[in-house]
Amino acid sequence: MTGWIYWLDLAGVIVFALSGVIIACRSRMDPFGMLVLAAMTGIGGGTLRDLLLGIRPVFWVTDPTYLWVIIITVVSSIIGFHYIHRLSRTVLPVLDAFGLAIFTIIGAHKALALGHGGTVAVLMGLLTGVAGGMLRDVLARRVPMVLRQEIYATASIAGATTYVILYTHPIHPYATIALPILVILTLRLSAIYWRLSLPVFAWITSPAAPSSGSLKSQSAMHNAAPSSNEIEKTPRSKARVRMLSPKRRRR
């Protein structure tokens, strides 16, 4: 079980590092910038997770293999830059979804293995899954994907919750890992394919319907200035919080 977790962790680092390289290419960064962005994406979330859990030193200090994996990924990407650039718009969301799924399970597993409760495990899974991508997008001057209306953090929470339930009620060891990953991939890839997103709340100002008093005041403006009583009778616009559906936001 531990061996599979380790190899999944390395696979997640490769996937997230590659997504960082693609964003760096879009932002026209040099090779050093590509390396920094790939490292932030690949090990940023896990580093914050270990710091919060009190693990010293963090995982990539005790095992430099993670750093070598990132360096090899960046070098390979530079060599095959032409192909990566052509596939970036199609591959990046899918790679990000796989990285999110793998890192979420890794974070939840590490918290549970240290004896923490289910709530902490879900939060650590969420942090491990989304923090690296947030650091990547901030450095690239992009709005972090987790802060948009897309189904991203929700998929991570659902997968981490599924893993915690299966961990406390053990079934087959491989199914305990595979099912939560499948939950995250299903939610995230479905959101990408069908452009699904969560509703948002916005402060909407709606103009009030004109009344007879306002019509009189408007007609009086051509002849004389309206009185104070007429101004007070003029209806004002109303502001309130409304929930906007995804379909309405696209208009």
Cα 88 to Cα 18: distance, rounded to the nearest angstrom: 10
The torsion angle over the Cα atoms of residues 126, 178, 193 and 136, rounded to 10 degrees, is 40
The top-scoring range by mean pLDDT among 17-26, 90-99, 230-239 is 17-26
99 bridge partner residues = none
Cα 35 to Cα 201: distance, rounded to the nearest angstrom: 38
Residue 94 binned pLDDT confidence (cut-offs 50, 70, 90): confident
Cα 142 to Cα 19: distance, rounded to the nearest angstrom: 14
Residue 148 binned pLDDT confidence (cut-offs 50, 70, 90): confident
Given this model, what pLDDT does residue 181 score? 95
Cα 148 to Cα 198: distance, rounded to the nearest angstrom: 9
Considering the chain, what percentage of its residues have pLDDT values greater than 90? 53
Non-local (6+) Cβ contacts of 37 within 8 A are 20, 21, 23, 24, 29, 136, 139, 140
- State the average pLDDT over residues 105-133: 96
Greater model confidence, 2 or 25:
25
pLDDT at residue 233 greater than cutoff 60: no
Q: Spell out a b/e string for 95-128, using b for 16 or more CB atoms within 10 Å of the CB, else e.
A: bbbbbbbbbbbbbbbbbbeeeeebebbbbbbbbb
Give yes or no for a contact between 44 and 136, defined as CB atoms under 8 angstroms apart: yes
Given this model, what pLDDT does residue 249 score? 45
- State the average pLDDT over residues 48-53: 96
Give yes or no for a contact between 176 and 163, defined as CB atoms under 8 angstroms apart: yes
Given this model, what pLDDT does residue 1 score? 52
- State the average pLDDT over residues 3-18: 89
Non-local (6+) Cβ contacts of 130 within 8 A are 45, 100, 145, 146, 152, 153, 156
